[in-house]
Each structure stands twice: as C-alpha cells, then as structure tokens.
C-alpha cells in the first residue's frame, strides 16, 4: 500500500485535540434518554431549561418536527466541535498555556452521521489543519461574515461561531447537518470524572511526552479528568508525531468509551445517570435543535441496537496542501466514495490501517473469551456485494469490534 506523505503539522498556541467530544452524542443522548424514560418529567423539564440556556441557532437549519419519545425517524447528523477554551479547572492545571491572542479555535471537528433503518453510525474526524472553502455566514449578533475560498477549519468558529462550522462542513461533505454541540476543556474533564474513567491501552514502548507530561509504560490503564485530557492531547509521544496520528489515538479513546457505554450497566445505574445528566447539561453548548432532552432521547434510542461492526470511526483522507506544507486539503478521489456511502446509508469496508500515521497499533492477543478460529488452508472469501462500499486505503479507521493501543514512543 502506498501512503501519501503528510506534514507533521505545526503546534498551536494552546492545548488542543478534542476527540472525546463524541461522548456528547453517546453519553449525553443516552443519559437524558434514561431520564426522560424512567426518572420522571421533573428531571426532563429541569434539563430542558438548563441545556437550552446556551443553545445556538443554526443558519439554514431544516425544520425539525416537535419531539416525541420514540427513536428519531430517518437519518440525522450531528457536528461535535471541541474548542481550546480553558475554564476554571483547566486554567488551574494549564496556567499560562491558556492565554493566547488567536481567539477560540475549533481544534476538533467530528461529523457523526446515523443512517435510516437499518442503522449505521459513521464518525468522521476532520483534521484541525484542513483547508476548506468557508461560505458567507451570519453571526449570532446578526452581523455577516464574508466567505473565503480557502481557510483553515480550526479558525471558522472564531470567524463566525458554531453555525458557520456546521455550514462549512455540510458544504464539504454534502451531508445535511441538523444538530451540533460544542465542548471545551473543562467539559472533557468533568464528564470523564462523572463516567468514572475510561480504560485505554498504551502500546509500543510506552508514551513519554514532554508537552503533556505523560510518562506511561505499555499496558492497560484507566484515565479520567486531567489524565484523560492529556491523553487525547498527546501528539509527539505517539506514532509519527503528527496531528493525524493523534486523531487515530483519539479514535481509540472514543471507541473504547462508546463500547463501554453501549455494552455495560452504566445506563441501569440511576445515581450515575442522574450525575451524568447534570454534568452533561452544565458542560455542553448545543444547537437550538439539540437542546430538548426528549430530542436527545430520540437520538439515543436510534443508536441502541446498532451492531458494533456498523459503528465506523474514520479519518478524512487528506494530502499536503500545495500552498503550505503545514496544512492539508481533502483527497477528493478517496473521500467522495466515503461521503456517498454515508449519504446513502450503505455499509462500508475499511481497507486502510487503523492509523496510517502510527498513532495506534493492533491490540494484543485475542481474549480467552473470544478464542481465535482454527487455522485453515482455505482461502479467505472475497468481499461480496453485500459487504458494502470498499473504502480507499488512504482512509484509516476502525469499528467497535476492533481494539487498538496507542502507538507509543518515548521522546
């Protein structure tokens, strides 16, 4: 397989990389679903008021029917944006690194698409250094931000807010994005604390990274709070040290988190559900269309029976930008079949590596509970038409059945 060389993108002024934003769909929706279904109308009404306080109106958003307590009908898409904002807790931890003159950057952008029945979930990570066309956008104060033929994606939030990020990604992907949410530094730490931590896997020679202060040997470990934040920030201590390697490491975190929530007893633990619902309500800025807890319940119900193999975590295929070696542009020839499969609700086969930049490596031996099949001389069957769209090898990614470990290195 031939890999397209990609620059190791220049570091930014503040800590970045918010792969954990996926939790706002899997946790936020599921938690509020349980509240709406079993804990009572009082909690749902209280969360409606609290979640809705910071709701953001999306420009050109499609009309959404009033919510009812059933799985959301048809397909939907959510853009999850992680910003490099420091709050009270993160400022205490990060100090001067929280101070900068470049404004608020949307350093992580995750497009989550859920198809109509039979359900399939695709989570596409867009690199923070991606150059793309930005349309004219209306800011929250009513002023208009002019469009740009080419801009770095992580400057769009500062340019014109969450709605403009949604509008730009919708134009890039051809996908109608009806919902969006924003999460900041403190939100990541508080939500991971409320969950009780996530077990991650460190591979390679372990991770030693001066920028984050991580010095962890190989093996499994549970991270929460500040450790979880630093783990999803780490870049130079994994793979080839690029931001694209870091995205793969974040996908390890997201997949392990999602699998834990979807397969554990988390949602039957009422005290934990209440605690999570409160933390989520206090630490997410949703679009107006996502601010209703019953709407969140609908999204959760749409996810609950999706097979693990139909949860795909994908990285947008890119090549080095001709104008700047520290930026990337979309690889249209590889990306368009992926976008088309997502838009039409088709299954997809990942043929690229879990990380094309060494951010993760294959997990260890198969668990005794899941023994390997006996060796056979019979050739592996060729993919059939029902196996779905075969993605380009340039697209790295995993599904929930595949476990990975960080491609750690010590520097």
**Comparing C-alpha atoms, which of 156, 166, 162 is closest to residue 140?**
162
pLDDT tens-digit series, residues 332-372: 999 999 999 999 999 999 999 999 999 999 874 333 333 33
Distance CA 115, CA 121 (A): 7
Query: What CATH number should be reported for the domain holding residue 123?
Result: 3.40.630.190
Summarize pLDDT for 83-137 with one digit per residue, the tens.
877 777 777 777 766 655 556 889 889 999 999 999 999 999 999 999 999 999 9
Burial class (CB in 10 A: 0-12, 13-18, 19+), 91: middle
Q: How many domains does the chain have?
A: 1
Task: Identify the burial level of 42 via C-beta atoms within 10 angstroms of its C-beta, where 0-12 means exposed, 13-18 middle and 19 or more buried.
Answer: exposed
Q: What is the mean pLDDT of the chain?
A: 79
Residue 214 has pLDDT above 50, yes or no: yes
- Assigned domain for 6 exists: no
Residue 268's pLDDT is: 61
First to last CA, the chain: 28
What pLDDT shows up at residue 386? 53
| pLDDT score recorded for residue 188 | 75
Q: Which residue has the higher pLDDT, 276 or 403?
A: 403
In this structure, is residue 114 part of a structural domain?
Answer: yes
Res 193: pLDDT = 82
Any idea which of 104-113, 149-158, 302-311, 380-389 has the lowest mean pLDDT? Answer: 380-389
- Assigned domain for 2 exists: no
For 53, the token pair is 């306080």
How far is 83 from 80, CA to CA, in rounded Å?
A: 10
CA 97 to CA 75: how far, in whole Å? 40
The answer on pLDDT for 233 being more than 90 is: no
Q: Which residue has the higher pLDDT, 363 or 329?
A: 329
Residue 252 pLDDT exceeds 50? yes
pLDDT band, very low/low/confident/very high, at 318 (cuts 50, 70, 90): very high
pLDDT value at position 381?
Answer: 44
- Asked whether residue 5 is assigned to any structural domain, the reply reads no
The CA dihedral of 375, 380, 384, 390, to the nearest 10 degrees, is 100
The predicted pLDDT at position 209 comes to 95
Alpha-carbon distance of 191 to 276, in angstroms, equals 7
The answer to the question of residue 77 being in a domain is yes
Q: Per mean pLDDT, which of 11-20, 88-97, 306-315 is the most reliable?
A: 306-315
What value does the mean pLDDT take over residues 131-146? 97
pLDDT recorded at residue 50: 60
The pLDDT score that the predictor gives to residue 380 is 41
Q: Average the pLDDT over 223-235 and give the result.
A: 90
Name the least confident of 39-43, 48-52, 152-156, 161-165.
Answer: 39-43
Q: 18-27, 182-191, 338-347 — which is least confidently predicted?
A: 18-27
Does residue 38 carry a pLDDT above 70? Answer: no
Residue 84 covered by a domain: yes
Helix (H) or strand (E) holding 319: strand 318-321
Quick one: what percent of the chain has pLDDT higher than 70?
Answer: 74
Q: Is residue 1 part of a domain?
A: no
Percent of the chain having pLDDT more than 90?
Answer: 48
- 243-252, 289-298, 312-321: lowest mean pLDDT where? 289-298
Whether residue 28 is predicted with pLDDT greater than 90 in this model: the reply is no
**What residues make up the domain containing 36?**
19-366+385-406
Residue 13 lies in a domain: no
Q: Look up residue 129 and give its two tokens.
A: 């250094």
Could you tell me how many residues make up the chain? 411
């Amino acid at each position: 397989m031939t890999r397209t060389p990609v620059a190791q993108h220049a570091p930014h002024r503040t800590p970045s990389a918010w792969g954990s934003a996926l939790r706002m769909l899997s946790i936020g929706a599921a938690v509020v679903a349980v509240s709406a279904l079993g804990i009572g109308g009082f909690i749902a009404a209280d969360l409606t008021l609290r979640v809705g306080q910071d709701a953001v109106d999306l420009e050109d958003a499609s009309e959404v029917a009033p919510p009812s307590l059933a799985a959301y009908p048809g397909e939907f898409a959510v853009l999850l944006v992680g910003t490099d904002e420091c709050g009270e807790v993160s400022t205490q931890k990060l100090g001067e690194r929280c101070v900068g003159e470049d404004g608020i950057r949307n350093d992580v952008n995750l497009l989550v698409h859920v198809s109509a029945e039979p359900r399939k979930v695709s989570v596409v990570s867009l690199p923070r250094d991606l150059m793309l066309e930005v349309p004219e956008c209306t800011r929250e104060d009513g002023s208009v931000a002019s469009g740009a033929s080419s801009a770095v994606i992580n400057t769009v939030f500062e340019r014109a807010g969450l709605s403009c990020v949604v509008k730009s990604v919708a134009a890039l992907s051809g996908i109608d994005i009806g919902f969006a949410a924003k999460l900041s530094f403190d939100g990541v730490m508080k939500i991971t604390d409320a969950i009780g931590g996530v077990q991650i896997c460190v591979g390679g020679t372990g991770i030693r990274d001066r920028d984050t202060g991580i010095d962890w040997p190989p093996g499994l470990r549970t991270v929460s709070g500040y450790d979880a934040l630093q783990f999803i920030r780490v870049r130079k201590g994994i793979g080839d040290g690029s931001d694209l390697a870091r995205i793969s490491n974040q996908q390890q975190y997201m997949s392990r988190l999602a699998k834990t929530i979807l397969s554990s007893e988390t949602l039957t633990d009422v005290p934990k559900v209440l605690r999570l619902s409160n933390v989520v309500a206090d630490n997410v800025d949703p679009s107006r269309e996502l601010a209703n807890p019953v709407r969140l319940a609908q999204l959760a119900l749409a996810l609950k029976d999706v097979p693990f193999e139909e949860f795909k975590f994908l990285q947008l295929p890119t090549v080095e930008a001709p104008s700047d070696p520290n930026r990337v542009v979309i690889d249209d020839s590889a990306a368009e079949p992926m976008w088309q499969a997502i838009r039409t609700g088709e299954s997809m086969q990942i043929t690229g590596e879990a990380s094309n930049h060494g951010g993760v490596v294959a997990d260890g031996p198969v668990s005794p509970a899941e023994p390997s099949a006996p060796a056979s001389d019979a050739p592996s069957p060729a993919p059939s038409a029902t196996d779905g769209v075969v993605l380009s090898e340039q697209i790295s990614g995993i599904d929930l059945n595949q476990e990975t470990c960080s491609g750690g290195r010590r520097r």
